[in-house]
Amino acid sequence: MPEPVYTFKHALIQEVVYHSLLTRPRQQMHARIAQALEERFAATVERQPALLAHHLTEAGLHAQAIPYWQRAGRQAYERSAYVEAQAHLTRGLALLRTLADTPERTQQDLEMQLLLAPTLVPLKGYTHPDVERAHARARDLCRQLGETPRLFTALEGLGAFYLIQARYQTAQELAEQRLTLARSQQAADLMAEAHLSLGEVLFYQGVLTTAHTHLEHARALYNPKALRAGEWLVHPLVRYHSYAAWTLWLLGYPDQARIQRRTALTLAQEFAHPFTAAVAQCFATALHHYCQETQAVQASAETTLALATAQGFPYWEAWGHIFRGWALATQRQGTAGIVQLRQGWEIRQAMGAKILQTYVLAILAEAYAYDGQVEEGLSVLAQALTLGRNHGERYYEAELHRLRGALLVRDDNRPQWAEAEACFQHALDVARRQQAKSYELRAAMSLSRLWQRQGKRDAARALLAGLYDWFTEGFDTLDLQEARALLEAL
């Protein structure tokens, strides 16, 4: 005689009946369902491991359920379903704590922590305490197990955490540790990642030529076929091209920088990975800002903002607000622009992001300048210079001094001209020390304009002419067009 089959017309009725069962029969039912899924529906389990994980969990078979929660978390992570991935991994880790302490349990804990940390970044930001805890836990487990290859991944995550916190020295030390580790294993893919991380952290410290060298080492060592989905949060090749674009622009190669930007955006589109796309778009927007391309900044910022908002990436949403605010301010919408800039700044602050604070404040100072708020602009630049000294963030230092000088000479208050001249000279010195030709050109133009007003035309032309002649590309950029026009006027 066949067993009766029951159907429920309302989910609440089903819920009441389910919970009316005694614990033991209920667990037995889940165990039977789990067995049937494993034996007869392997394809379903492959597609939906969380389904089997659920039934095993409800059956009290925790040790068997954990690998399926882990698999479900990885699948969700690989399709950028970060909220779902976090839920699966958290469930698995909770079950893991109910098991006896064995090497197998420790290994499972390690693998899930290494997956949980990058899952949390898009949702909570790079510097959230939960992100640090997951990376630190993974590092400790690696040392406990003697897991050298996985230790590299844990240190990489911690390095990114400290980088976004603008703790550049610590981030650099971790990158150097990873490079030593990778060389000891003769692992080209790990060496590539370590070189890339070193290039990033040295860039922010203003060590531009060395940063570029490390970036090029990374590119030479990367094997795209060896990169597996789920092993990265941002595709390494997109990271390389994005940072190469910034570095080349600072070093005085605008055309090469724009090629790198286009490559990063193209690759991000091909990979169809939302978080990578947000990163590439934001870096591209920044390069437009470096080139002072207002319309391009606004269009790219809108794209960044739309993507980040739709996907729930608050860190990149903040950048969308910042760049859109700058574009509005340059188009005589100063109040609206400053409000939007402040909104982006506050999102970053709430997330604990300290990286690029000097850059954001410089953008805000520019917006105040466009709006005629000189004192506010000077106050913000003073804050930026202090933060730069405290954090060792040097890559925008020359521009901070130049912008301060530019604000000091906005009117005919001649007593301030000597202070402004010192600012421009300091900007020149910093740019030369860093070999940042693009910033050196801007500082030279600012100083030449001041000397022109003071009647020192020959000195102004001598300063600018040699520097302009150094450039071999980018003559359609605003900076080089203005430099040529100023030389002709002199």
Structure tokens at 333: 């919408």
pLDDT recorded at residue 4: 54
184-243 pLDDT, tens digit each? 988 898 999 999 999 999 999 999 999 999 999 999 999 877 666 556 789 999 999 999
Name the nearest CA neighbour of 79 among 138, 128, 119, 108: 119
Low-confidence ranges of the chain (pLDDT < 50): 1, 5, 8, 14, 16-18
pLDDT recorded at residue 295: 97
Name the nearest CA neighbour of 215 among 183, 180, 240, 246: 240
pLDDT recorded at residue 16: 47
pLDDT recorded at residue 414: 67
pLDDT recorded at residue 7: 56
pLDDT recorded at residue 313: 93
349-375 pLDDT, tens digit each? 999 999 999 999 999 999 999 999 999
Question: What is the C-alpha separation between 249 and 311, in angstroms, rounded?
Answer: 30
Q: Please, is 5 exposed, middle or buried when counting C-beta atoms within 10 Å of its C-beta (0-12, 13-18, 19+)?
A: exposed
Quick one: how far is CA 100 from the chain centroid? 38
pLDDT recorded at residue 17: 44
| DSSP structural state of residue 394 | -
pLDDT recorded at residue 413: 65
CB atoms within 10 A of CB 300: 26
pLDDT recorded at residue 412: 62
Helix, strand, coil shares, percent, the chain, to 5: 80, 0, 20
pLDDT recorded at residue 94: 94
Query: For the chain, give me the number of helices (H) and strands (E)?
Result: 25, 0
Structure tokens at 398: 């020359």
User: Any residues with CB less than 8 A from the CB of 220 and at least 6 apart, and which?
Assistant: none
Element spanning 89, H or E = helix 82-96
Give pTM, 2 decimals.
0.88
